[in-house]
């Protein structure tokens, strides 16, 4: 079986956390839902280890959902456009790469109407693969569209893993891709909720707070099947006080994006605690 990786870095992604979930996983999964999709690390694990008949994925972020739709419906056309970005970007000096990055970011912000959905999603994918550290940032000076600064820009031969894109195309064939309110995503035999962290430093382009989290807890109590809810322990008893019908387990994590500790030498990764709420 080929190793499939998330298509892009995503702050709050669960790649490193899945090993902590394994003891709590079901024996089989025939249907799977993920209403806050992001980078899809858990989706990859479920697809490759349980081969569900049907999956539902949803995210409020229209940009990343269009990337998944493009990869599902026209992977070769998507890849052909990406190869054009590689051809423009790779030969350049770092200074010229940075200039190109901001030119394309500006074009994506203000001149995207000239593109097809496939072209627009490929442009955004280029920006996400060359932007800073998996951060999704929305700026007023980028028309309230993708505004993350450029990353290190040290790519050598390519910005993209084309084989991984083709593997994603295979995964997505049994998957209904939705974009909108998480509450409208169908629930399944196994539903994985990974909403934004309470009081999150990282911004996802949508509002999320205690009211929304309580609504999620109330709704998920009535979801049939296995439910996982992920969040961060903020050092209070807020989640524990609302844990009726859930089993709670915690795991250590180190943040490498977003919330980091400032030191005399710069910034270092910050240790924190992840919460997994389980309702069987």
Give the pLDDT score at 268. Answer: 56
Each domain of the chain, given as residue ranges in start order, spans 18-60+180-279, 78-164
The residue-averaged pLDDT of 159-187 equals 97
Strands (E), 7-63: 31-34, 54-59
pLDDT digits (tens, 9 = 90+) for 242-256: 888 899 999 887 765
> Picking from 54-58, 103-107, 108-112, 267-271, which range would have the lowest pLDDT averaged per residue?
267-271
Q: Which CATH number among 3.40.50.300, 2.60.40.10, 3.40.50.150, 3.40.1280.10 corresponds to the domain 18-60+180-279?
A: 3.40.50.150
User: By three-state DSSP, how is residue 231 classified?
Assistant: strand
Give the β-pairing of 31-34 and 54-59.
Answer: parallel
User: By three-state DSSP, how is residue 22 classified?
Assistant: helix
pLDDT digits (tens, 9 = 90+) for 63-104: 999 999 999 999 999 999 999 999 999 999 999 999 999 999
Give the model's confidence band at 49: pLDDT under 50 very low, under 70 low, under 90 confident, else very high: very high
Element (H, E) at 164: helix 162-171
Contacts of 103 (CB under 8 A, 6+ apart): none
Q: Which CATH number among 3.40.225.10, 3.30.365.10, 1.10.1020.10, 3.40.50.20 corresponds to the domain 78-164?
A: 1.10.1020.10
pLDDT digits (tens, 9 = 90+) for 176-213: 999 999 999 999 999 999 998 876 544 444 557 888 99
């Amino acid at each position: 079986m080929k190793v499939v990786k998330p298509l892009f870095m995503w702050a709050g992604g669960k790649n490193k956390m899945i090993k902590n979930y394994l003891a709590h996983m079901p024996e089989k999964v025939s249907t799977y839902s993920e209403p806050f999709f992001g980078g899809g690390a858990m989706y990859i694990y479920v697809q490759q280890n349980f081969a569900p008949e049907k999956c539902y994925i949803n995210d409020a972020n229209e940009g990343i959902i269009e990337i998944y739709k493009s990869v599902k419906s026209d992977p070769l056309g998507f890849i052909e456009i990406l190869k054009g970005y590689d051809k423009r970007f790779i030969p350049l000096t770092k200074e010229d790469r940075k200039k190109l990055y901001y030119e394309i970011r500006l074009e994506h912000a203000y001149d995207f109407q000239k593109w097809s959905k496939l072209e627009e999603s490929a442009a955004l994918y280029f920006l996400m693969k060359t932007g800073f550290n998996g951060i999704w940032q929305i700026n007023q000076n980028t028309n309230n569209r993708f505004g993350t600064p450029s990353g290190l820009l040290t790519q050598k031969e390519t910005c993209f893993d084309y084989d991984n894109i083709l593997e994603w195309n295979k995964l997505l064939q049994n998957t209904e891709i939705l974009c909108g309110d998480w509450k409208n995503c169908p629930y399944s035999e196994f539903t994985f909720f990974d909403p934004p962290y309470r009081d999150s430093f990282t911004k996802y382009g949508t509002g999320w707070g205690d009211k929304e989290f309580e609504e999620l807890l109330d709704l998920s109590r009535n979801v049939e099947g296995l439910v996982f809810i992920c969040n961060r322990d903020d050092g209070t008893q807020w989640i524990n006080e609302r844990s009726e019908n859930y089993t709670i387990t915690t795991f250590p994590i180190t943040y490498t994006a977003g919330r980091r500790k400032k030191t005399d030498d710069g910034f270092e990764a910050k240790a924190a605690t992840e919460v997994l709420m389980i309702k069987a």
